[in-house]
Amino acid sequence: MMLAVFVSVIGAAAWVYLLAFRGVFWRFRERDDGDAWVRCEAWPSVVAIVPARDEIETIERSVSSLLAQDYPGEFRVLVVDDQSSDGTGPRAQALHSTGLRLEVLRGAEPPSGWTGKLWATKQGVVHAGAAAPDYLWFSDADIVHLPDNLRRLVVRAEKRRLVMVSLMAKLRCESFAEHFLIPAYVFFFAMLYPFSWVNRASHTMAAAAGGCMLVDRAALERAGGIDSIKSEIIDDCALGRRMKQQGPIWLGLTERALSIRPYPHIGDIRRLIARSAYAQLGYSPVVLLGTLAAMIAIYAAPPFIALLGSGAARLAAGLSWLCMAAAFQPILSFYRRSPLWGVALPLIGLFYAAFTVDSAIQFWRGRGGMWKGRFQTMTRQNERSGGT
């Protein structure tokens, strides 16, 4: 009984902290539709860089949306074909006739110490740098943008003097697996990196969402360029940290950048999470155990005690369950999902805990950081010797 009371109180205290003192992350008030938009006095030049590896199913729609931008200034699109084996490069090149602003670059194999995506991005930055654009727009090959997205990104950056503007693309949420797990993916990300803290210049918190990042090119060079994060698995947040050292950044939700990558099965989302979850924990078994204990106390224990416990323990556990269901409502509304999914957040949390364990197992097996057929995290042997 005392153990149940202790766990319930810990869980309730954790949810009080999360709701009131963690940047009110769960409100998701940071969205790209909140400003009264005006024109720029002079539109800066922009180059969009799209690293693409085996993206034949999405590359045409993604690049077409970039070419369809209604941006008044100088704008070009550069696709870096990262050693694709499925015809991604030729498929992208075929779009050249519909937009002379497009160029497709065949990327080289990544050298030791680089992750594949960042090496492709680096090649794009070097190639684009010859024209010295004012901004670089990093976009993933599975993201479709509304025609006004770039214009709004640039206006936000110019008017607020930001060195980086990043939008968390709205993920596909159609299958049962996506209904079950995708809103929580954004929820947990914001819990780790509260957007309000990221957007506060005086706060040390920094993060970004890799699907859509507008970056001041000169500030990126001052930050050390892509080379400074070349081995990072969570590369977008690493870039956010580097850029915030150069000036203010901004991160928010959007419906103007949409992911078209499907996740029809739970296993697909498991692989998405497992690619970087253990990296988020610093590859530490101690932090992993602490995280699992916290997930059990904060998510799993409250409904169990609320249904089977009694007295003060049951009351505290019920309060925790109510708090987590309430906190989940704004992101459920954003994804137009039923409020009843809030009741399932404890179960969803257990799935994410299992995915995190799987991420650690993959790392210990030397198969961590899987991305497009490449294992990109350090093995334990390389970690001891300082390699990657």
- Domain residue extents for the chain: 2-25+268-369, 32-263
pLDDT, residue 97, reads: 62
Half-sphere exposure of 90 (CA within 13 A, CB side): 3
Residues 243, 223 contacting (CB under 8 angstroms): yes
State pTM to two decimals. Answer: 0.93
Task: Give the pLDDT confidence of 316-355 residue by residue, as tens digits.
Answer: 999 999 999 999 999 999 999 999 999 999 999 999 999 9
Of 198, 123, 125, residue with least CA distance to 164: 198
Of 33, 37, 28, 30, residue with least CA distance to 158: 37
pLDDT, residue 373, reads: 61
Residues 181, 268 contacting (CB under 8 angstroms): no
- Which CATH superfamily groups domain 32-263? Spore Coat Polysaccharide Biosynthesis Protein SpsA; Chain A (3.90.550.10)
CA 238/CA 90 separation, integer angstroms: 31
pLDDT beneath 50: ranges in the chain: 379-388
Q: How far is CA 71 from the centre of its chain?
A: 25
* DSSP letter for each residue of 303-336: HHHHHH--HHHHHHHHHHHHHHHHHTHHHHHHTT
CA quadruple 221, 222, 226, 227: dihedral, nearest 10: 110
CA 245/CA 201 separation, integer angstroms: 10
Bridge partners (DSSP) of residue 250 are 165
pLDDT, residue 98, reads: 56
User: Which secondary structure element, helix H or strand E, spans residue 143, and what is its range?
Assistant: strand 143-145
Residues 368, 359 contacting (CB under 8 angstroms): yes
Rounded to 5 degrees, φ, ψ at 75 are -150, 130
